[in-house]
């Protein structure tokens, strides 16, 4: 069955960096667009970043643009999120999700999600 497992979260000081990973299994990873989302304490879901199935196009939320970088390694069936210049406001549970439908940009909804990894930015 489809499985997405995030890792790499932890505690980091303001201004620091973290790299999140999302290990995919149970489907042909290279055929799917992927996204990162986050949920801040007491708040709802926020879209963070997108990568096309072939990695040729990427989009970011304004709140992370220039600080976060999404990438993928299809040989490892893994999605990444490099997070730099972290601030207190980046404290959240980060989720990876698979866009429904194959190729191109995928459909705009998400049929598989991971359980999330917690990122805490604190001095």
* Site residues (vs other proteins, CB under 8 A): 4, 35, 43-47, 50, 59-62, 95, 97, 100, 107-116
Rounded to the nearest whole angstrom, what is the least distance from the CB of residue 67 to other proteins in the complex?
A: 16
Cα 27-33-34 angle, rounded to 5 deg: 85
Rounded to the nearest whole angstrom, what is the least distance from the CB of residue 59 to other proteins in the complex?
A: 4
- Nearest residue (CB) to other proteins, 56 versus 109: 109
Q: Which of 115, 114, 98, 96 has its CA nearest to residue 106? A: 98
Rounded to the nearest whole angstrom, what is the least distance from the CB of residue 61 to other proteins in the complex?
A: 5
Give yes or no for a contact between 18 and 8, defined as CB atoms under 8 angstroms apart: yes
């Amino acid at each position: 069955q489809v499985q997405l497992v995030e890792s790499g979260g932890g505690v980091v000081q303001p201004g620091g960096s973290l790299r999140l990973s999302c290990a995919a299994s149970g489907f042909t990873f290279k055929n799917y667009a992927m996204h990162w989302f986050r949920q801040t304490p007491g708040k709802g879901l926020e879209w963070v970043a997108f990568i096309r199935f072939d990695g040729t196009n990427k989009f970011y939320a304004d709140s992370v643009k220039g600080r976060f970088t999404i990438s993928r390694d299809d040989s490892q069936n893994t999605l990444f999120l490099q997070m730099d210049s972290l601030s207190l406001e980046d404290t959240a549970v980060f989720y990876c999700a698979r866009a429904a439908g194959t190729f191109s940009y995928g459909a705009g909804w998400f049929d598989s999600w991971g359980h999330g990894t917690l990122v805490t930015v604190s001095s």
